[in-house]
Amino acid sequence: MRASKKVKKKQKTKSKRNNLSGFRGFSKVVAVIYLLLSVYFEIEIIRLNILPAKYLLPMLLILTPVTLIIFCILFFNGVTKWKKNLALAISLILMLTSLMGTGYATGTINFLNKISSIGDKVTYETYLVIVPIEAEAETIEDLNETTVGIYSIPNENYSKARNDLKEIIAYETSVSDDLDSLATGLLEGKYESILLSETNYETIEESNDGYQEKTRILYSYDIEDIQRDTARRIDVTEESFNIFVSGIDVFGDINKVSRSDVNMIITVNPKTNKILLTSIPRDCSVTLPTYGEKDKLTHAGLYGVDESIGAVEELLGIEINYYIKVNFSAVENLVDAIDGIDVDSDYAFTARKGGYYYNKGMNHLNGPEALSFARERYAFREGDFQRVINQQKVIEAVLKKISKSTTMLMNYNSILGAVDGNMDTNMAPEDIKALVKMQLNKMPSWEFEKSSLDEGSDALMPGYTYGNQKLYVFVPNKDKIIEVEDKINLVMSEE
């Protein structure tokens, strides 16, 4: 009996030793994992370079010794079990925190690298082969040995599109220098098909309501182009700078070339904490620098944001340092990501796009409502001039809300996801991080001013993009141009 008890006691003791040995082995594995995660987290936070020193140094001074102490308790023998259990619990909490922090840091670095276009950038424009709705042709090969209506605009992308089509089918060309005549000729049987850019096809629909219902797209393909980097880089935390904002009128891929619906200059003075928003109407008459001919500013976007920048610089006699290009998706997604914005409407109106109703006074808007508010012009007697005012209201509301630290912390991942793939800028990641770091360090309250090129005359005249076809343009008053230029330069020069 006594022998049996001794055996059981020995087995129990051995079992305890085995359990203790297993626990020690487990704690050592956790210790190594914890140390590696903590070191990686600290490296990523330092590499991110967004946190000011007053936040970063205390965090590292606290986190580093805590990490070493917990590692030693978990890894080395001779520590009581209750201390190891406590250290194990703390390490699991800190590992989860490190994983989340590392995810934030790595995600931000990848995001900034993705949206920043340093150097020349490849963009594309979609071209369409259009046939009447009742046409017998079902594939592009069915148009072999037929006549294709060609728009005679002297444009490199159109030339590439014609040559690419020749590699697919053999066709005769019938040239027109007027977009409306080309569109009418297709319906009247003058051509079996016409070749147009997607933007031109949409423009025809705007001036010929129901045209797309009478036609169909038989074939589409993309033409690549090179967007030149025009950045004038400076120290954004010490020197004033201008950002050109181009809002293109499409959803989806930001690399798609399209008309610029929004054309705004954001002048930032980091010393006075002043921001000036200067809007230029989309129909403003400008000179396209590449082609040396007059056209609407909105059409400059068809040739890349660098063309828009050159046209605005020539118009106002200023230098633009950077650009930010966004599409419709970016506006909708970003406003939703920050839980909506509040804008003060000058009028009560119903928007044509979406049918949303807006009260005179303050309105809380979600993404689609904010986009519709910024796009509407037909509801106002002032037309496009009121639209640019509303666009400024939306941008100011977004900037003010994002600059609040609580908004950034609570909606961080959503904000990054909102503009991912829907925004492009030639600001370097280091410049963007420097601005964020400055904001977190000083938490300045930014003063907003607004300006608009809103005085001039209306005219009907042809432009480069649409040949002999006369379109409405706004010809700005020279005195107003000087006034806008002086206001930009004043904000930039203030100390």
Within 8 A by CB and 6+ apart from 186, the residues are 130, 131, 132, 149, 193, 194, 215
pTM equals 0.79
Whether residue 52 contacts residue 441, with contact meaning beta carbons closer than 8 Å, is answered with yes
Whether residue 87 contacts residue 74, with contact meaning beta carbons closer than 8 Å, is answered with yes
Pick the closest to residue 200 from 473, 475, 422, 471 (CA basis). Answer: 471
Q: What share of the chain is helix, strand, coil (3-state, %, to 5)?
A: 50, 25, 25
Range 291-308 burial, b when 16+ CB lie within 10 A, else e: beeebbbbbbbbbbbbbb
pLDDT computed for residue 13 by the predictor? 53
Domains and CATH numbers, the chain: 2-101 (no CATH), 123-225 (3.40.190.10), 241-493 (3.40.630.190)
The single-letter code of the amino acid at 153 is I
Cα–chain-centroid distance for residue 355?
Answer: 25
What is the rounded distance in angstroms from the CA atom of residue 366 to the CA atom of residue 344?
14
What is the rounded distance in angstroms from the CA atom of residue 359 to the CA atom of residue 344?
9
User: Tokens 């079996």 identify what position?
Assistant: 192
Whether residue 149 contacts residue 232, with contact meaning beta carbons closer than 8 Å, is answered with no
pLDDT computed for residue 229 by the predictor? 81
pLDDT computed for residue 186 by the predictor? 94
Burial label, 24 (beta-carbon count in 10 A; 0-12, 13-18, 19+): middle
pLDDT tens, residue order, the chain (495 aa): 555 555 455 555 545 555 546 667 888 888 999 899 999 999 988 888 888 888 889 989 999 999 999 999 988 888 888 888 899 899 999 999 888 888 878 878 887 887 787 777 788 889 999 999 999 999 999 999 999 999 887 788 889 999 999 999 999 999 988 888 899 999 999 999 999 998 889 888 877 888 999 999 999 999 988 778 888 999 999 999 999 999 887 777 778 778 888 899 999 999 999 999 999 999 999 999 988 999 999 999 888 899 999 999 999 999 999 999 988 888 898 899 888 999 999 999 999 888 999 999 999 999 999 999 998 988 998 888 898 899 889 988 988 888 765 666 566 667 777 777 788 899 988 998 898 888 888 888 889 899 999 899 999 998 888 777 788 999 999 999 999 999 999 999 998
What is the rounded distance in angstroms from the CA atom of residue 259 to the CA atom of residue 261?
6
pLDDT computed for residue 203 by the predictor? 80
- Other Cβ atoms closer than 10 A to 65: 10
Within 8 A by CB and 6+ apart from 78, the residues are none
pLDDT computed for residue 353 by the predictor? 82
Whether residue 244 contacts residue 265, with contact meaning beta carbons closer than 8 Å, is answered with yes
What token pair was written down for 262? 């929004």
User: Tokens 């608009």 identify what position?
Assistant: 452
Within 8 A by CB and 6+ apart from 492, the residues are 240, 241, 242, 267, 269
Whether residue 401 contacts residue 365, with contact meaning beta carbons closer than 8 Å, is answered with no
The single-letter code of the amino acid at 301 is G
Whether residue 113 contacts residue 163, with contact meaning beta carbons closer than 8 Å, is answered with no
What's the half-sphere exposure (Cβ side, CA atoms, 13 Å) at 407? 18
Whether residue 438 contacts residue 237, with contact meaning beta carbons closer than 8 Å, is answered with yes
pLDDT computed for residue 341 by the predictor? 93
Burial label, 21 (beta-carbon count in 10 A; 0-12, 13-18, 19+): exposed
